């Protein structure tokens, strides 16, 4: 029986929420997990604040293992991730500040305060940890097919005050598949050829360096990736009418792009304030009492809107009858 998925947002821990989802219902996953030791998103149990890089990688492996279970056999995972340096722990909180303060958006003041702790790692001070490739190799070892590494070249990267290395201006995008064969529409993301004549093709298959600016979003979430990036991933690996999942929804970029392009989405976000922002961007209704999606999430407060049962569980019960 084919399950019909509406646009849905869960508020809570990604791993716990994904465990409630049936097998093989998503077409693709487009996500960017919180980067290791860089920002405090102000939520208990958040990813990125682990004691060691190894613990961080293991937690992500567990979450993406659930993603693999919930992807269809032809499903694809896209992970946008940057590296971290071993150092003092003086990273940024979620609004881009370097210490305790208020959010850049007055509407959401006070939700991103906190100072990062220094990580316990065998790396020397100033070492590049190698987080992206540690994650990629760990996911491959866990059963994923590691299909490609893509460079996101930020055309408007933030300046750095460093004088003993180059300024960072890229992040990694890893493409991984559940199976050896998977859905990939290369024609949907073809790019214009350069320096062509009338007799030569006007378009070519997309290359693995994507040059695009970082996203500008007037909200509390500092690390939103650009809509064009999410659109490229979604058009390539999710057919029209399919379902995209993002276990680290943040301000809702993946959900908005999926909805704008004729796909459905399911998003999970541990920070309630960010989930509210995502709901506003995607026009997804949330419960007024607990701010959970009224139809889908198991509300810890058991308010009248949630009734303690998720829509996924209700579907599963109907399918088993």
Structural domain that includes position 207: 14-238
Q: Which residue has the higher pLDDT, 237 or 284?
A: 237
Q: Which two tokens stand for residue 15?
A: 């791993």
In a domain, 220, yes or no: yes
Q: How many domains does the chain have?
A: 1
Q: Which two tokens stand for residue 196?
A: 């062509």
Provide mean pLDDT across the span 311-320: 54
CA–CA gap between residue 27 and residue 239 (Å, rounded): 8
The per-residue b/e assignment along 295-318, b for 16 or more CB within 10 angstroms, e otherwise, is bbbbbeeebebbeeebbbeebeee
Inter-residue contact 78 to 174 (CB < 8 Å) = yes
Asked if pLDDT for residue 273 goes beyond 60, the answer is yes
In a domain, 18, yes or no: yes
In a domain, 249, yes or no: no
In the three-class reduction of DSSP (H, G, I as helix; E, B as strand; rest coil), residue 136 is classed as: helix
* Percent of residues, the chain, with pLDDT higher than 70: 73
Give the model confidence (pLDDT) of 115-154 as tens digits. 445 556 678 888 899 999 999 999 999 999 999 999 999 9
pLDDT value of residue 21: 94
Q: Which two tokens stand for residue 136?
A: 């990629």
In a domain, 123, yes or no: yes
Q: Which two tokens stand for residue 104?
A: 């850049």
CA–CA gap between residue 249 and residue 278 (Å, rounded): 7
Q: Which two tokens stand for residue 231?
A: 């659109």
CA–CA gap between residue 118 and residue 86 (Å, rounded): 9
Residue 201 binned pLDDT confidence (cut-offs 50, 70, 90): confident
Asked if pLDDT for residue 318 goes beyond 60, the answer is no
In a domain, 104, yes or no: yes
In a domain, 66, yes or no: yes
* Tally of CB atoms within 10 A around 51: 12
In a domain, 129, yes or no: yes
Instruction: Return the DSSP state at 119.
Output: P
In a domain, 115, yes or no: yes
CA–CA gap between residue 95 and residue 284 (Å, rounded): 24
Q: Which of 130, 129, 128 is closest to 165 using CA atoms? A: 128
For residue 158, what is the domain's CATH number? 3.40.50.150
């Amino acid at each position: 029986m084919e399950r019909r998925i509406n646009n849905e947002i869960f508020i809570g821990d990604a791993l716990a929420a994904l465990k409630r989802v049936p097998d093989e219902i998503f077409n693709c996953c487009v996500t960017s997990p919180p980067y290791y030791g860089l920002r405090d998103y102000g939520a208990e149990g958040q990813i990125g604040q682990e004691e060691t890089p190894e613990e961080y990688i293991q937690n992500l492996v567990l979450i993406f293992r659930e993603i693999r279970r919930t992807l269809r056999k032809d499903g694809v995972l896209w992970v946008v991730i940057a590296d971290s340096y071993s150092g003092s722990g003086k990273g940024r909180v979620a609004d881009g500040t370097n210490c305790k303060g208020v959010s850049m958006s007055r509407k959401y003041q006070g939700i991103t305060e906190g100072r990062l702790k220094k990580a316990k790692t065998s790396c020397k001070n100033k070492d590049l940890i190698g987080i992206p490739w540690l994650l990629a190799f760990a996911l491959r070892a866990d059963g994923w097919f590691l299909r490609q590494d893509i460079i996101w070249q930020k055309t408007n990267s933030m300046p750095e005050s460093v004088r003993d290395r180059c300024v960072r201006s890229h992040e990694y995008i890893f493409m991984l598949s559940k199976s050896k064969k998977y859905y990939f529409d290369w024609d949907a993301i073809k790019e214009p050829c350069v320096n062509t004549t009338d007799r030569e093709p006007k378009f070519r298959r997309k290359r693995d360096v994507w040059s695009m600016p970082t996203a500008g979003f007037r909200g509390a979430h500092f690390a939103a990736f650009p809509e064009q990036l999410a659109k490229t991933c979604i058009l390539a690996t999710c057919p029209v009418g399919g379902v995209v999942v993002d276990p680290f929804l943040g301000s809702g970029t993946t959900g908005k792009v999926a909805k704008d392009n004729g796909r459905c989405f399911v998003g999970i976000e541990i920070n309630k304030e960010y989930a509210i922002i995502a709901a506003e961007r995607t026009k997804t209704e949330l419960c007024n009492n607990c701010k959970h999606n009224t139809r889908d999430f198991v509300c810890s407060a058991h308010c009248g809107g949630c009734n303690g049962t998720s829509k996924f569980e209700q579907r599963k019960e109907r399918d088993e009858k």
